[in-house]
Amino acid sequence: MALAMVCALCGTFGYAAEKVATAPDKVLIAYYSWSPDGHTHYAAEQIQKATGGTLFEIKPKVPYPANYRACVDQARKECRAGFRPELSNPVKDMKQYEVIFVGSPNWCGTMAPPVRTFLTSYDFSGKTVIAFFTHGSGGMQNCERDVRKLLKKANLLPAKAFFGRSIRDANQEIADWVGSLLTVQSKTAKQ
């Protein structure tokens, strides 16, 4: 019975149900967003509002083509090959963050290649990592699974996939999801 309850509280991948306690200055929200609608950017902004953390845009050195067809063609090849494009901007001091949200559009069923680069550019051991995605109707597909493959030493909390076109109606859903995973308290609020 007790075991059944614990299992029920765990996600698909067996995550612990306990919330992570942290402070706003310990939270980084890194995201890559490609489309002019900026679905993933928008989701990242909502997470920033919910946590008080720092927003960080992941930027490839060479931007992807603005043309949708050309971008899909390039993305398909790169995703299949596990390609990691160079990024133009490092996080200044990754050591200061203990909770890192990482956001990506679902590209060809997985994370966008710049996010793959980001996840393999830092040591995430001991840090809490929370991946989020926006998609065009495919949902999570292999996004969460592929992040897990790259981050064996991090404390990975359940990822979330949001339907991109409805993202601007998802403020409450995003806030509730963040609240279900984290307790974020500033140092002054604790006193």
Q: Give the binding site for ligand FMN (CB under 6 A).
A: 33-35, 37-41, 71-72, 75, 105-109, 134-138, 164
Q: Of the two residues 23 and 133, which places its CB atom closer to ligand FMN in the complex?
A: 133
Give Cβ neighbours of residue 70 (< 8 Å, ≥ 6 apart).
none
Residue nearest to ligand FMN (CB): 164
Pairing relationship of beta strands 160-163 and 155-156 according to DSSP bridges: unpaired
H/E segment holding residue 74: helix 68-81
Distance CA(81)–CA(60), nearest Å, equals 17
Q: Of the two residues 22 and 110, which places its CB atom closer to ligand FMN in the complex?
A: 110
Q: Of the two residues 127 and 135, which places its CB atom closer to ligand FMN in the complex?
A: 135
Picking from 151, 144, 157, 129, the residue whose alpha carbon sits closest to that of residue 19 is 157
Token pair belonging to 189: 């609020």
Give Cβ neighbours of residue 110 (< 8 Å, ≥ 6 apart).
79, 141, 142, 143, 146
Q: Of the two residues 35 and 155, which places its CB atom closer to ligand FMN in the complex?
A: 35
Report in angstroms how near the CB of residue 75 gets to ligand FMN at its nearest. 4
Report in angstroms how near the CB of residue 160 gets to ligand FMN at its nearest. 13
Q: Of the two residues 22 and 40, which places its CB atom closer to ligand FMN in the complex?
A: 40
Report in angstroms how near the CB of residue 63 gets to ligand FMN at its nearest. 12
* Bridge partners, 21 (sequence order): 183
R_g over Cα of the chain? 16
Report in angstroms how near the CB of residue 182 gets to ligand FMN at its nearest. 22
Report in angstroms how near the CB of residue 18 gets to ligand FMN at its nearest. 31
Hunting for tokens 């930027």 — which residue is that? 59
